Amino acid sequence: MDFNRRVFLKSLGMGTAACLLSSGGLPRLARGQAAGEVGRNFIFCYFSGGWDTLLGLDPRDPGVFTEDRVGQTRIQLAWDRLPVGFSQTIIQPRGSNIGFGPAAESFARHFDKSCVVRGVSMDTLTHEVGRRYFITGLAPRGLSAAGSSMGTRIVAQQGDLSPIPHLVARVESYNEGDPAFASGMSVNSVTDLITALADGPQAPAGAVRARLDEYRQRRQGCDPAASNARGFLTLIEETQFKARELVVGGFNRRFQFTNANDPEMVALSARYGITNLAGAESQAAMAFQALKYGIAQSVTIELASGLDTHDNTWETDQAPNQAIGFSALATLVDDLAAEPHPEGGVLLDHTTIVCFSEFGRTPTLNSRDGRDHSLSSSALMIGAGVPHNKVVGATSDVAMNPRAVDPSTGEPVESGGVTLSPTLVLASAMASAGLNTDALRVDGLPCLMA
């Protein structure tokens, strides 16, 4: 049966744009905030636990920053302790202005689509605070998030251009005063999403209703439905929207990556190296499919975990876990750069990706052969609206402290300038898409926009 998207969204209290959904196929959905205008997609990628930037986005030359100079530089690479197979040198492809650490080797080929932001001052050593700072773009109130998630802010301004405008996997999501349709629909894994969108005889009775109820219960502390009665689930309850309407488009088959009978799923699974539906690989594939088929316009995923390495697990876990995330990200960028966009160009031309962690790790090893929390971090911006093949900002060559930058060029300056922060990074991503940044109380930086 055909199902009119205007009716679909109106039944949710979301109606605006019209587009047909068919149970026999899922065409791309209309993008754009007005006729002739193209909406920007966003993907936010969280590396959980606090990444070691020396291994990824802010490396140092091991020929210069040697073990016998640690007392002078207060920077200890210790790359010789990494598992077999990791490079002992900076990765810098021909033509690249960006040097990457050993954990980001698989991603380095995308230097020409990327901007690495170094010397981001996090102003916290607390996981919850740093994470929520980058999720919302505002410094938390104590441990509590201040304001809405970036995906919520973006969708609130763009409008409800897709059935699940704001899709979130394994990352916190917030709505503080924004429209209900912009709230994140959170899942713990791709399996959750498949189950939530299941339809027909194969679906467990009440699967969508149960999954959505679980979402609400799981998000008691931050779900807008619990805190301010403006959330996605409250909207569903108030309009008495039936679960089946959400699944009538047959969305779930786009995420069945272990379906050996579907050639598209077989190819996706092989391309991303998917072995389960909860890992970074499946989340990256989920983000691609959600944008490819117009199912979502903002997607937030967790691409790495296990990065809180205060002891000798740093040697065995930090680089491999980062590498999993960077590899999944590289494949996601491959796909976005190859997939045509209905308005011209490719999906990546209409998509901004921001990668972050809650903070970095200390540049020297501690007495337990691990690294502790550092106030200094990095970020990675890819795709639309982003200056390409560019490094913005820097950390010092002694102890890796953030350096102030010229807001126009992004080059470090000895006096004046601005200190980079999550707020400035995220405001720049929004401003590059023509979105209002008043809620963040700053303008975007010219050096972070293209």
Nearest Cα to Cα of residue 255 among 191, 161, 306: 191
**Chain CA centroid to CA 37, Å:** 24
Nearest Cα to Cα of residue 253 among 3, 26, 2: 26
- As given in the structure block, the two tokens for residue 141 are 């109130």
Residue with the larger pLDDT of the pair 205 and 276: 276
Backbone phi, then psi, for 411, in 5-degree steps? -80, 145
Mean pLDDT of 55-59: 98
User: Has residue 13 got a pLDDT over 70?
Assistant: no
User: Has residue 10 got a pLDDT over 60?
Assistant: no
User: In this structure, are strands 114-121 and 376-383 parallel, antiparallel, or unpaired?
Assistant: antiparallel
Average pLDDT, the chain: 85
Residue 219 located in a structural domain: no
Tell me: the pLDDT tens digits for 305-352? 999 999 999 999 999 999 999 999 999 999 999 999 999 999 999 999
Altogether, the residues listed in the chain come to a count of: 450
Nearest Cα to Cα of residue 86 among 320, 362, 369, 321: 320
Backbone phi, then psi, for 25, in 5-degree steps? -175, 160
Distance in angstroms (rounded) separating the CA atoms of residues 200 and 214: 21
Residue 409 located in a structural domain: yes
Distance in angstroms (rounded) separating the CA atoms of residues 425 and 332: 21
Query: For residues 136 and 147, is the Cβ–Cβ distance under 8 A?
Result: yes
Task: State how many domains the chain has.
Answer: 1
Residue 20 located in a structural domain: no
Residue with the larger pLDDT of the pair 156 and 6: 156
Domain that holds residue 322: 45-197+247-448
Q: What is the pLDDT of residue 3?
A: 27
Residue 26 located in a structural domain: no
Residue 276 located in a structural domain: yes
Indicate the pLDDT class of residue 181, thresholds 50, 70 and 90.
confident
Distance in angstroms (rounded) separating the CA atoms of residues 299 and 336: 14
User: Has residue 392 got a pLDDT over 90?
Assistant: yes
Residue with the larger pLDDT of the pair 228 and 257: 257
Tell me: the pLDDT tens digits for 207-254? 444 554 544 443 344 444 333 333 444 444 433 333 344 455 678 899
Distance in angstroms (rounded) separating the CA atoms of residues 218 and 213: 9
**Which amino acid does the sequence have at 288?**
F
Nearest Cα to Cα of residue 406 among 390, 395, 419, 397: 419
What is the domain-level CATH number for residue 326? 3.40.720
- Render 79-136 in DSSP notation, one character per residue: GGGSPTT--SS-B--TT-S--B-GGGGGGGGGGGGEEEEEEEE-----HHHHHHHHHH
All residues at 6 or more sequence positions from 65 whose CB lies less than 8 Å from its CB, including other chains:
73, 75, 76, 77
Instruction: Report the chain's terminal Cα–Cα distance, integer Å.
Output: 43
Q: What is the pLDDT of residue 198?
A: 75
Residue 38 located in a structural domain: no
Indicate the pLDDT class of residue 195, thresholds 50, 70 and 90.
confident
Q: Coil, strand, or helix at residue 202? A: coil
Residue with the larger pLDDT of the pair 145 and 35: 145
Distance in angstroms (rounded) separating the CA atoms of residues 351 and 386: 10
Angle among Cα 432, 434, 440 to the nearest 5 degrees reads 80
DSSP state of 67: G
Q: What is the pLDDT of residue 217?
A: 47
User: Has residue 274 got a pLDDT over 90?
Assistant: yes
All residues at 6 or more sequence positions from 219 whose CB lies less than 8 Å from its CB, including other chains:
173, 186, 225, 226
Residue 3 located in a structural domain: no
Task: Give percent of the chain with pLDDT exceeding 90.
Answer: 76
Nearest Cα to Cα of residue 299 among 422, 429, 206, 169: 169
Residue 371 located in a structural domain: yes
Distance in angstroms (rounded) separating the CA atoms of residues 312 and 440: 39
User: Has residue 27 got a pLDDT over 50?
Assistant: no
Q: What is the pLDDT of residue 385?
A: 98
Distance in angstroms (rounded) separating the CA atoms of residues 128 and 46: 13
User: Has residue 403 got a pLDDT over 60?
Assistant: yes
Distance in angstroms (rounded) separating the CA atoms of residues 361 and 434: 34
Q: What is the pLDDT of residue 202?
A: 52
User: Has residue 267 got a pLDDT over 80?
Assistant: yes
Distance in angstroms (rounded) separating the CA atoms of residues 450 and 113: 11
Q: What is the pLDDT of residue 196?
A: 79
Distance in angstroms (rounded) separating the CA atoms of residues 335 and 330: 9
